[in-house]
Amino acid sequence: MLDQAGPLDLTDPVTGALRATVTRPELERLARRGCRTHPDRDCGCAVLDRPPAVDRYTPTPAQYRFVRARDRTCRHPGCRRPAARTDLDHMRAHRDGGATDCTNLCCLCRRHHRLKTHAPRWRFTMTDDGVLTVTTPSGVTRTTRPPGLHTPAVRHLLGSGGPPPDDDDPPPF
């Protein structure tokens, strides 16, 4: 039975990536509705996925839930401020065409949000699955992954095939 108080987080069993967050009423509504594309058969369509992008600056409540569940803390290397006490920041600025989409939103505490936005020559980039890379003005680069997202080496150990990659993860700045 689902907890009435909070959402359920669904992860990919192979990669560990967060696929969706859903509340009990949302899940019940989806179960009643079923697949709208193929209502007469079991098509295997994903009825749950990350929240869709919106055409505005402010993220939706579903996007807040998803990104905070994915990130769990401020994503700046070495920072452990809980996600509930962070800002959702557009990695590519909204004013520069960055989408209000979970693939472009990241939890950053106010200090690191300001660093990213205002400090010269700092570079922040993020992949669609939430892997954040931060490069300092001196060229030092650090990468953080959402908790639970399996590295390529872990995926190899779980049996997804291929040789294990060189997965050195240096300490924070």
Yes or no: say if 27 and 8 are a contact pair by the CB < 8 Å rule: yes
Whether residue 45 is found in the same domain as residue 74: no
Q: Does residue 56 sit within a domain?
A: no
pTM higher than the cut 0.75: no
* Total domains present in the chain: 2
Tell me what pLDDT residue 10 has: 74
Tell me what pLDDT residue 149 has: 76
Tell me what pLDDT residue 20 has: 78
List the end-to-end C-alpha distance of the chain, in Å, as a whole number.
43
What sign does the dihedral 13-19-21-25 (CA atoms) show?
negative
Q: Does residue 166 sit within a domain?
A: no
Measured distance CA(75)–CA(53) in Å, rounded: 21
Region 92-109: what's the mean pLDDT?
Answer: 96
Its domain, for residue 113, covers 63-146
Region 116-125: what's the mean pLDDT?
Answer: 95
Q: Does residue 84 sit within a domain?
A: yes
CB atoms within 10 A of CB 82: 13
Residue with tokens 């055409």: 55
Whether residue 128 is found in the same domain as residue 70: yes
